[in-house]
Structure 1
């Protein structure tokens, strides 16, 4: 006997919620979503009866669309095992389609896009009409775009648009899932105008749905960043983050946070970005990797060791990260290693990251935060080995140059008094022997100390050290001393 008190009402609400996921049916009423979410799913997973599977399927989509991530995770963990329903209950094709498609969307909401894609493909194999095929392909497109496989995502979006043209053009514009997937592909193409149209589509279908309106605002932030309107991106992003978790879905909040950190870096505020990142006390989706912007902030402050340290754990979970995050991590590590003089490791990291980007057709626009760092020297060095890699980095440098106020060069890392003394000595043109005699140490000690200074600055020669410090106005006297001199 079912545990539900009003079985007929329950099943009817579940039927409406499941049907509403198709483009031919209006969106489910909030009443139905909340009613389905409130069902006490206490049946043992192995013994769940057929009539409750429909309710379970509807509950998944209700929890996912109402951003109840914990309940989503609970249901998937309790009733699925090895990506299959634990119960051996016999279901018809339509019931299986909704179960697989809804599980795919729920896994997407959790950030497990690989498992989501598996269920989306199963749903696609069970679709029997254009509406079901459209639903399965749109969810698959979202999975692929979140993972960073832009070539495949773009193909699925084109197929969805084709289905819409042959049946009802409004399908493409009225689908939240497809619109979000399209926004990621447009961002990869660097199409700021296309992103603005995608945001307008989302606002058109959102009505009073705060989650959809929030997604539209996140897409607008991305459009601002790509068009170089960094101040506008920071302003809108800050306002959205101040809303807390009351409006946006978990996944979109995570992507917004990543965009906001990128915008702060592009505005030349690495320390503020680090402060924001360190103040985050809530988990983010697995495919949103905040270690990349944190490492970029360290790069901008010339703290290359910290950039490597914060990204080291990411290397152990590359399979969990989306391709976008994995590429960003490898490129950031490569730049840090180059600045530390570890050229063999740097070449390996940079070429691995750029190879992944080429395979998934990821453009520099999707990892635009890297443009906050001056990459001219890296591009020039790498161009001797792999011209395609140099071109990729040069496109980031072109974007950096197009900004109204490009980020200023990184600040000088904190030096010890001994390191400052050495810096001034080489500025005065003193040789190693002259420094040793002046400071009362051996020439070998001077060489070791200079090597330590070069490592901290991310250079490998005396000439590079002088250029680095001079570019950052290290050798200029303090303002009060300049005023006294002028008097």
Structure 2
């Protein structure tokens, strides 16, 4: 390994068994303190060598340490894992240490506890669990308040800001951002590793408001990376791509984000930024009316546990463009089953796509139910991003139906209509019908020939009611209501060629 403090384990994994001698443990503790210190404002170093070292050390090194030492070393190991792409390992270590009640013991000073809780928050945010991220950020802030340390308080606030923004709690996130920026100005701190989560929170806020000026400003700040961490320029590129998408410059935005998703540095970028970049890439393909490419891009990609990045929702949007409405529902049923575990931010776009699918499947009650839930969440959050790539005509029709049912909501409905007008229009894809069964294919050809339903029933040796039922099923698949419309749609996509 080149370092006497490390010995390869018997299985040859990336995690190595530590030398548990006092000298080796002390070196690891020193590395952890360097990583933790670099996470505070005013410290530019990213402590990459120490971070790399700690990311590969097995938790066995924590055994036998005094509580404060264990708290600090485990915090450094958690951060190292989260920042090196092992968010699952970071979360696992957080949970193990909390289960041992190490950090909550009275022997642990508040400053060390704050460092641990901040590391725990970052681990859960990186893994896509913003509510746990917020919970631990609040613990970090409480401990920081007890010490009177503004630098520890700033770190906690930055993590709280990104956690709340990631969960779609934009008003609360904006208040925290303001508090953190005030602290930064008061101390004259320059941009550092500690600033990064705060910038992520600001990017999420700007995206929700379709605020291109703020997105561009964040991109500029991230481009002036003081740490040498490849996630900074990658995040800057993602912010620029989002700004271009909001401006309707889809092609420029797509080629911009591809420098991240298809670039050689992608493996060195944190999991969350890789996921966000992939999500932007998918949204841009959907905006261009390319659902097949979207599904290919997302093939095999799983959403993180809390669905802060909900790839199932984006797959549903692709199925919607393809006219495969039942797949919209089936692709998102698992999201619905998550219940309160699902990230709040990604629920509105999920429900909107389900509402449109239910509508096109001829299920108005289900459509209205999902749409009204999405509507209230959008109004509460103030975000416009859930409206991206949703078919405009369907949105307006569902809004009209909501107004008919709930006239008292008119002011809020008008506000959402205004937001819809600000959303860049997506290119409508060439309509592609879902795969038809053999019987539906025969029926489609008979309808085109103008054969009456009774005559079709006789030729197929089935009852008239059976043919009527088959015709209704075909109309639902094609999102039409009559024979003529069905034939027209199938002709437009070359079905009979």
TM above 0.5: yes
2:290 alignment counterpart: 269
- For 2:390 and 2:153, the matched residues in 1 are separated by 38
Residue number among 197, 205, 225 corresponding to 2:245 in the alignment: 225
Summarize deviations over 1:174-224 as a string: whole Å, max 9, x none.
711101110000000001221111111111135532121112122222122
1:302: how far off?
A: 1.0
Which structure 2 residues correspond to residues 316-327 of structure 1 after superposition, within 5 A? 316-327=337-348
Q: Which secondary structure state, in structure 2, belongs to the residue aligned with residue 447 of structure 1?
A: helix
Residue number among 117, 129, 152 corresponding to 2:172 in the alignment: 152
1:300: how far off?
A: 0.9
Between 3-12 and 301-310, the greater mean CA deviation after superposition: 3-12
1:171: how far off?
A: 5.5
| Mapped contact 2:134–2:160 kept (Cα < 8 A) | yes
Residue number among 351, 362, 365 corresponding to 1:330 in the alignment: 351
2:72 alignment counterpart: 54
Q: Give the superposed CA RMSD.
A: 3.4
- For 1:61 and 1:284, the matched residues in 2 are separated by 19
Which structure 2 residues correspond to residues 71-220 of structure 1 after superposition, within 5 A? 71-81=89-99, 84-85=101-102, 88=105, 90-127=107-144, 128-168=148-188, 170=190, 175-206=195-226, 208-220=228-240
- For 1:468 and 1:324, the matched residues in 2 are separated by 37
Q: 1:447 to 1:154 in 2, by over 3 A?
A: same
- For 1:295 and 1:45, the matched residues in 2 are separated by 47
Between 70-79 and 434-443, the greater mean CA deviation after superposition: 434-443
1:266: how far off?
A: 0.9
- For 2:373 and 2:471, the matched residues in 1 are separated by 32
1:384 alignment counterpart: 404
Which structure 2 residues correspond to residues 418-429 of structure 1 after superposition, within 5 A? 418-419=439-440, 422-423=443-444
- For 1:31 and 1:390, the matched residues in 2 are separated by 54
Q: Which secondary structure state, in structure 2, belongs to the residue aligned with residue 246 of structure 1?
A: helix
Summarize deviations over 1:372-421 as a string: whole Å, max 9, x none.
88644444444423556865774676456x54x72235323333565456
2:363 alignment counterpart: 342
Residue number among 3, 11, 36 corresponding to 1:18 in the alignment: 36
1:317: how far off?
A: 1.0
Q: 1:235 to 1:392 in 2, by over 3 A?
A: farther
1:89: how far off?
A: 6.2
Q: Which secondary structure state, in structure 1, belongs to the residue aligned with residue 108 of structure 2?
A: coil
- For 1:286 and 1:381, the matched residues in 2 are separated by 30
2:16 alignment counterpart: none
| Mapped contact 2:206–2:214 kept (Cα < 8 A) | yes
1:6: how far off?
A: 3.8
1:289 alignment counterpart: 310
1:368 aligns with 2:368: no
1:91: how far off?
A: 1.0
Residue number among 49, 52, 70 corresponding to 1:34 in the alignment: 52
Structure 2, unaligned stretches of length 5 or more? 1-18
1:366: how far off?
A: 4.5
| Mapped contact 2:433–2:477 kept (Cα < 8 A) | no
- For 2:388 and 2:50, the matched residues in 1 are separated by 41
Q: Which secondary structure state, in structure 2, belongs to the residue aligned with residue 50 of structure 1?
A: helix
Summarize deviations over 1:143-174 as a string: whole Å, max 9, x none.
11111111111111112122223332635997
Between 168-177 and 309-318, the greater mean CA deviation after superposition: 168-177
Between 92-101 and 279-288, the greater mean CA deviation after superposition: 279-288
| Mapped contact 1:436–1:443 kept (Cα < 8 A) | yes
Between 163-172 and 134-143, the greater mean CA deviation after superposition: 163-172
| Mapped contact 1:160–1:172 kept (Cα < 8 A) | no
- For 1:475 and 1:260, the matched residues in 2 are separated by 26
- For 1:431 and 1:394, the matched residues in 2 are separated by 43
- For 1:287 and 1:4, the matched residues in 2 are separated by 42
Between 371-380 and 226-235, the greater mean CA deviation after superposition: 371-380
Summarize deviations over 1:433-476 as a string: whole Å, max 9, x none.
576578776442332122111221234x32xx644653675398
1:65 alignment counterpart: 83
Residue number among 317, 321, 325 corresponding to 1:300 in the alignment: 321
- For 1:315 and 1:61, the matched residues in 2 are separated by 32
| Mapped contact 2:68–2:109 kept (Cα < 8 A) | no
Structure 1, unaligned stretches of length 5 or more? 480-487
1:4: how far off?
A: 4.3
